[in-house]
């Protein structure tokens, strides 16, 4: 998870809170507002956990919203480990950094926004399109949702490899070389404990 900043046409600044699942690069939330304190981040996480399930880890940088006691207490209570990247090493959170670039190019830089309502509407529409139709080379050319469904149905499986930061629902590394297409009659991959960025 990460934050981005931009401004409305009247000059008012706003931020977006971006949350993706490292396993399949699915966008779980893009929340836009003028203020996104730690309590708001926790509410968003609660909603996503209710909808998608609890992650094993959440990978974050050392921003004030992420080092707050509010987030730490929430994660401890839920049994979620916070994985902090090293200061000055944004590529340790590379999936969300790559997502941020795409979101900036496709949404924030592509539109002039006169209201937060418009930011939210365009972001939501774009998010649905991105999750359903945006192919990823690292996901065998599938969209995030297409990849998740292929794994859930057993048409695609991942081989377990060690990683400093587990990046899959079961702690697999999302290296393209670690995936293979398998017969749909094979054992379904278990999809518990997603990791969020």
26 pLDDT exceeds 60? yes
CB 136 within 8 A of CB 147: yes
Domain locations along the chain = 2-136
CATH 3.30.420.10 given to domain 2-136: yes
21 pLDDT exceeds 60? yes
- Tell me the pLDDT of the chain averaged across its residues: 80
| Phi and psi angles of residue 87, each rounded to the nearest 5 degrees, phi first | -55, 135
What confidence score (pLDDT) does residue 185 get?
31
Q: Which token pair is 74?
A: 């929430």
What confidence score (pLDDT) does residue 83 get?
84
What are the pLDDT digits (tens) for 117-128? 999 999 999 999
- The predicted model scores a pTM of 0.77
Q: Residues near 177 by Cβ (< 8 Å), separated by ≥ 6?
A: none
């Amino acid at each position: 998870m990460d934050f981005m900043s931009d401004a409305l046409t009247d000059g008012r600044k706003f931020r977006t809170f971006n949350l993706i699942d490292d396993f399949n690069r699915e966008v779980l939330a893009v929340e836009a507002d003028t203020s996104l304190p730690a309590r708001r981040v926790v509410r968003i996480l609660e909603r996503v956990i209710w909808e998608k399930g609890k992650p094993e880890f959440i990978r974050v940088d050392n921003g004030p919203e992420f080092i707050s006691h509010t987030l730490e207490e929430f994660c401890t209570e839920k049994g979620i480990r916070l994985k902090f990247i090293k200061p000055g090493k944004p590529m340790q959170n590379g999936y969300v950094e790559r997502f941020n670039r795409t979101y900036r190019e496709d949404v924030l830089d592509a539109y002039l926004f006169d209201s937060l309502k418009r930011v939210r509407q365009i972001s939501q529409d774009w998010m649905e399109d991105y999750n359903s139709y945006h192919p990823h080379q690292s996901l065998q050319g599938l969209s995030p949702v297409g990849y998740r469904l292929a794994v859930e149905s057993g048409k695609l499986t991942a081989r377990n490899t060690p990683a400093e930061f587990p990046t899959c629902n079961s702690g697999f590394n999302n290296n393209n070389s670690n995936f293979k297409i398998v017969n749909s009659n094979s054992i379904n991959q278990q999809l518990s404990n997603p990791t969020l960025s």
